[in-house]
Amino acid sequence: MAKKVMKCLLYLLLFLSGFFIVTFTVYFLNLDMKLTAAIEPLLQKHYDRIRRDQHL
């Protein structure tokens, strides 16, 4: 029973360490904003096609 708990804790520690490394890399290299900049032209095309009611 104790071995199962230790094994689960080890897997949890490895998962959390990997998650931290991935999120830190995204933060450090500013990858989220680079992805947003790459997607922006596609989003602009989509939103420019939407008909708008511009009556005030």
Domain-embedded: residue 40: yes
Q: How far apart are CA 11 and CA 30, in angstroms?
A: 28
Are the C-beta atoms of 30 and 24 separated by less than 8 Å?
A: no
- Start-to-end CA span in the chain (Å): 70
Domain-embedded: residue 9: yes
Domain-embedded: residue 56: no
Give the domain range for residue 29.
Answer: 2-49
Domain-embedded: residue 33: yes
Q: Residue for token digits 């596609």?
A: 42
Domain-embedded: residue 18: yes
Tens digit of each residue's pLDDT (9 = 90 or more) over 4-17: 999 999 999 999 99
Domain-embedded: residue 55: no
Domain-embedded: residue 54: no
Are the C-beta atoms of 10 and 16 separated by less than 8 Å?
A: no
Q: How many domains does the chain have?
A: 1
Domain-embedded: residue 14: yes
pTM of the model: 0.64
Tens digit of each residue's pLDDT (9 = 90 or more) over 16-55: 999 999 999 999 999 999 999 999 999 999 999 999 888 8
